[in-house]
Structure 1
Amino acid sequence: MSIRPTLETRAAMETLEGAGVKLHRAFGFHKPSELDPFLLFDDFRNDSPEDFQKGFPWHPHRGIETITYVLSGSVEHADSLGNQGKLGAGDVQWMTAGSGILHQEMPQGNMSGQMHGFQLWANLPRDLKMTTPRYQDVEAKEIPEIIDDDGTAVRVVVGEFWGKRGPVDGIAADPQYLDIWIPPGVKKTLPVDTYRRAFAYIFEGSAAFADASAPTGVLLEKEVGGEEVNIRDMSGNRTLVRFGTGDEITVQAGEEGVRFLLISGAPIQEPVAWHGPIVMNTGEELQQAFRELRNGTFIKPAH
């Protein structure tokens, strides 16, 4: 077994998207090979409705899949194929844009006016860029949760983990998408397939991730839950952790525990031509997509 080194930790950057939604972007719109097959990751979390209620009005997608995971509040959605629905707390939607779709997503706060969710973009390989669009809407109750003896809890959204399989299937990137809670002071080693690119995104509490060159993962200076850790090495809220190669990660939870997404997928390793919500392989394919948007032939008949 080999521990994946931590290549980088960085804070998600505040930005505006849609019709003025305030969110934090962990990565996106540069270096598409960095976390191939994943292109973009947004954390939309707000306590004030004015920061999100204008939402993401009608816009196109082609050549990608979008994964929306709602933690609190809800998201109403509709598309050019006639689909419409509402994602509530704990629900997931995996949308394969394929050959092209127009859709909108309108967040709504919970009873206290709060909204929190994530959106991840995954690239499609060349032979699936123009596949027929489809949706998979998954309710929270369908997502298996595993509780380990030490209190670690894992929701398996996609992929297989500790003998449980998530309900979303048929995804081109064959990803693993896990929502993990580790209690205060607990140190945990988690498997990750060797051949996948992987990242973690911390959104509650703090943690240190062990490095291959230092199996403890930290310089020992302060005791937390019976083990010494260097608090300066702790990564906290809205932090992206990008891993190198290996087949496991080791996490030391901080004093308040840690909750994070652990996401991995098989790299596509193809050329990327990307502008806004459309991702193709060549500049000509990208230009064609925008020509079709202008002349009304963007949406293709099902095949």
Structure 2
Amino acid sequence: MNATSTHTRQVARVVRGQPTSDGAGVKLTRVIGQRELDMLDPFLMLDEFRSDQAGDYIGGFPDHPHRGFETVTYMLAGRMRHHDNQGNSGLLTPGSVQWMTAGRGIVHSEMPEQQDGLMWGFQLWVNLPAAAKMCAPRYQDIAPESIPEIQPAPGVRVRVLAGSVDGVEGPVSGVAVDPLYVDVSLAPGTRFSLSLKPGHNAFAYVYAGSAHIGAADASQRIDRGDLAVLERDGDDVLIAATDEPVRLIVVAGRPLNEPVAKYGPFVMNTPEQISEAMRDYQSGRF
């Protein structure tokens, strides 16, 4: 259990994911980047994809461009192969994470490397500050065995993808918004207090079971498929399982407080920069 803090964050609002499709018809649930929650600075989009029906995912995400932000893919089940126009290739397997910085521009594909079975995971889009939007693209491909898992209390398991929990550092590094990204598993009846940096925006997304989030006297039940946006003020978040196991991701980051111009796969600061990105892509300059 983390050290006791002076103020526990409460749930500011609850958002339900909405079914949609992307890529070549891949069915998914969009949680951030929809009408109810357009963005949560610096987070631009959160999708959960989960299906054991090949027709829902087999088309994958053929070649497409990105500029001005980062994509984070975290696999729970299934395998996804990525290629890009910089000569990079890699395989995402269960428990792995890929933190891709698109920077000034990249064209890549993400295609299932399976014909059947469960495909399950998340893709998060993280904004880049204006000063870094035109940086060189890079990948951080992290294998499952490189992601530390801690047990801060009986019945509590935490995988640390990015940031620090109880002095254990996640493998993702060099990200401008100083993110925390953890995958938390709680046995029935257990609880866990997770430290958060003051002023950072944070959310918790429950993907299995149900949890009570917030101080015990004012907690809110968050069910599978719900995202809890947390208050910005506070030093920690308290998560308690119900009478069944619960799994959730908790993500936090420093808000950029900069103008955002979005158009499809491009995220810049002004409409003029979006037009420039489109011209550069169409003329093969990515």
TM-score normalised by length of structure 2: 0.94
Q: 1:68-92 deviations in whole A, cap 9, x for unaligned?
A: 0001111100001010111100011
Question: For residue 216 of structure 1, what is the amino acid of its counterpart?
Answer: D
Q: Which range moved further: 185-194 or 117-126? A: 185-194
Inter-partner Cα distance in structure 1 for 2:130 and 2:103 = 10
Question: For residue 236 of structure 1, what is the amino acid of its counterpart?
Answer: D
Q: Check conservation: 1:32, 1:38, Cα contact below 8 A.
A: no
Q: 1:270 aligns to what? A: 258
Q: 1:134 aligns to what? A: 138
Q: Check conservation: 2:33, 2:39, Cα contact below 8 A.
A: no
2:44 maps to 1:39: yes
Inter-partner Cα distance in structure 2 for 1:195 and 1:8 = 17
Describe how 1:101-112 pairs up with structure 2 within 5 A. Answer: 101-109=106-114
Name the % identity. Answer: 44
Q: 1:225 aligns to what? A: none
Q: 1:200 aligns to what? A: 204
Q: 1:293 aligns to what? A: 281
Q: 2:3 aligns to what? A: none
* Change in 2 beyond 3 A, CA 1:204/1:29: closer
Describe how 1:128-167 pairs up with structure 2 within 5 A. Answer: 128-167=132-171
Q: 2:65 aligns to what? A: 60
Q: What secondary structure is seen at the aligned counterpart in 2 of 1:39?
A: strand
2:181 maps to 1:177: yes
Q: Check conservation: 1:201, 1:262, Cα contact below 8 A.
A: yes
Of 92, 95, 114, which residue of structure 1 is paired with 2:97?
A: 92
Shift of 1:210: 2.1
2:67 maps to 1:80: no
2:112 maps to 1:125: no
Q: What secondary structure is seen at the aligned counterpart in 2 of 1:234?
A: strand
Question: For residue 165 of structure 1, what is the amino acid of its counterpart?
Answer: E
Shift of 1:146: 0.3
Q: Which range moved further: 154-163 or 250-259? A: 250-259
Shift of 1:182: 1.2
- Number of residues paired by the alignment? 280
Q: What secondary structure is seen at the aligned counterpart in 1 of 2:234?
A: coil
Q: Check conservation: 2:20, 2:29, Cα contact below 8 A.
A: yes
Q: Check conservation: 1:186, 1:253, Cα contact below 8 A.
A: yes
Q: 1:247 aligns to what? A: 235
Shift of 1:216: 2.2
* Change in 2 beyond 3 A, CA 1:31/1:292: farther
Question: For residue 19 of structure 2, what is the amino acid of its counterpart?
Answer: E
* Change in 2 beyond 3 A, CA 1:126/1:274: same
Compute the RMSD of aligned alpha carbons. Answer: 1.6
Q: 1:72-118 deviations in whole A, cap 9, x for unaligned?
A: 111100001010111100011000000000000012448x6110010
Q: Check conservation: 2:10, 2:218, Cα contact below 8 A.
A: no
TM-score normalised by length of structure 1: 0.89
Q: Check conservation: 1:32, 1:272, Cα contact below 8 A.
A: no
Shift of 1:30: 5.9
Following TM superposition, the consecutive aligned residue runs of length 4 or more in structure 1 with deviations greater than 2 angstroms are 29-34, 107-110, 215-218
Q: Check conservation: 1:208, 1:217, Cα contact below 8 A.
A: no
Shift of 1:251: 1.6
Q: 1:97-148 deviations in whole A, cap 9, x for unaligned?
A: 00000000012448x6110010000000011000000001000000000012
Q: What secondary structure is seen at the aligned counterpart in 2 of 1:292?
A: helix
Q: 1:169-214 deviations in whole A, cap 9, x for unaligned?
A: 0111110000001110113222111121000010011011125xxx
